[in-house]
Amino acid sequence: MMLKVKVKPGSEKQEIMKISEDEYIVSLKKRAEDNRANIELIKLLKKYFKKDIKPIKGLRSRNKIIEVGN
């Protein structure tokens, strides 16, 4: 399953908001420095979906394409 994820780094709290079946907005506490926000995003999505997470596109962007495995 492929998801479109908009990331908001540097937020006060971690939060996942489902916009549609394949679109999410994710607020992260970590800032986008030294890949910290991406690492936090992957950990948070793994916990949320209870499946493997693989970033496909947008590692340096706020708009990402994420693959959720089985």
Give the CATH number for residue 10: 3.30.1200.10
The confidence score (pLDDT) of residue 70 equals 67
Question: What pLDDT sits at residue 39?
Answer: 94
Looking only at the bridges linking them, the beta strands covering 23-27 and 63-68 are unpaired
Q: How many domains does the chain have?
A: 1
**Per-residue pLDDT at 5:** 97
pLDDT tens digits, one per residue of 7-49: 999 999 999 999 999 999 999 999 988 899 999 999 999 999 9
What pLDDT score was predicted for residue 32? 87
Q: Is the pLDDT of residue 53 over 70?
A: yes
CB contact set of 48 (below 8 Å; sequence gap of 6+): 16
Element of type H or E holding 15: strand 15-20
CB neighbours (10 Å) of residue 44?
18
Report pLDDT for 12.
94
- Domain limits for position 40: 2-68
